[in-house]
């Protein structure tokens, strides 16, 4: 194991994880809002926001898929040391991390079952840019309408159409974090 795998975790996990979770909760509960999070660093190409999401939400109970581009020995070592999350394929993943094209095919992920729609993947989508413009969002968490620079709209529209089944997304870029639950209705702006 490389030494960089051992560094980059939270300095004060209980407090920092709590702060990241609150930002994450606000982001998911208010789709389109962009939060700033930080406190940890993972090896490239993992963004700071994705790193703290992994530290806050993942452990040995959450199988993780690293998409091509993110899957490499350094990231693997870091993830294993800091979270203990088992690394798996798309089909078994509770979390998946990668750039949007590399996360495909989306049909491979778990979307829950009618009895247990919560048994579904959460995608952590690494973005080149993240801004409150682009696709128009409406639904729970949004008073009137919101906008977010989604990588596309069609996949999210289809994901919403099968509600309550589906996956949920976090978008990360540097220290920025946004989210889009399956409940959000997405249209071209």
Partner 1 sequence: MTDAAYNFAYLDEQTKRMIRRAILKGVAIPGYQVPFASREMPMPYGWGTGGVQVTAACLTPADTLKVIDQGADDTTNAVSIRRFFQRTAGVAATERTAEASVIQTRHRIPETPLTEGQILVYQVPIPEPLRFLEPRETETRRMHALEDYGLMHVKLYEDIARNGAISTAYAYPVKVEGRYVMDPSPVPKFDNPKLESPAIQLFGAGREQRIYAIPPYTRVVSLDFEDHPFEASKADHACDLCGAEESYLDEVITDDAGGRIFVCSDTDFCAGRRAGGHRGALAAEDVA
Min dist CB 110 to partner 1, Å, is 12
Subset of 23-62 contacting partner 1 (CB under 8 A):
24-26, 28-30, 56-59, 61-62
What secondary structure letter does DSSP report for 162? T
What track of x and - describes contact with partner 1 for positions 134 through 153 (by CB under 8 A)?
Answer: -----xxxxx----------
The alpha-helical segments, DSSP class H, found in the chain are: 13-29, 48-57, 73-83, 100-103, 154-161
Could you tell me which stretch among 37-45, 101-109, 115-123, 147-155 binds partner 1 (CB under 8 A)?
115-123
On whether the CB atoms of residues 173 and 164 are closer than 8 A, the answer is no
Yes or no: say if 97 and 67 are a contact pair by the CB < 8 Å rule.
yes
**11: phi then psi, degrees, rounded to nearest 5:** -75, -35
Rule CB under 8 A: which residues touch partner 1? 13-15, 17-19, 21-22, 24-26, 28-30, 56-59, 61-62, 94, 113-118, 120, 122, 139-143, 163-164, 168, 181-183
């Amino acid at each position: 194991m490389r030494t960089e795998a051992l560094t980059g975790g939270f300095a004060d996990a209980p407090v920092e994880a709590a702060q990241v979770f609150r930002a994450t909760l606000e982001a998911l509960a208010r789709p389109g809002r962009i939060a700033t999070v930080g406190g940890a660093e993972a090896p490239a190409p993992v963004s700071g926001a994705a790193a703290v999401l992994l530290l806050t939400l993942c452990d040995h109970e959450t199988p993780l898929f690293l998409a091509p581009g993110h899957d490499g020995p350094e990231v693997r070592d870091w993830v294993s040391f800091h979270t203990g999350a088992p690394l798996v394929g798309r089909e078994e993943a509770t979390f998946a991390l990668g750039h949007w094209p590399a996360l495909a095919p989306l049909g491979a992920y778990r979307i829950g079952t009618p009895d247990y729609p919560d048994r579904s993947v959460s995608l952590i989508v690494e973005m080149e840019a993240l801004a409150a413009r682009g696709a128009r969002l409406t639904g729970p968490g949004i008073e009137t309408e919101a906008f977010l620079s989604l990588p596309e709209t069609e996949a999210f529209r289809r994901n919403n159409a099968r509600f309550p089944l589906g996956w949920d997304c976090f978008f990360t870029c540097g220290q920025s974090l946004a989210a889009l639950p399956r409940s959000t209705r997405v249209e071209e702006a």
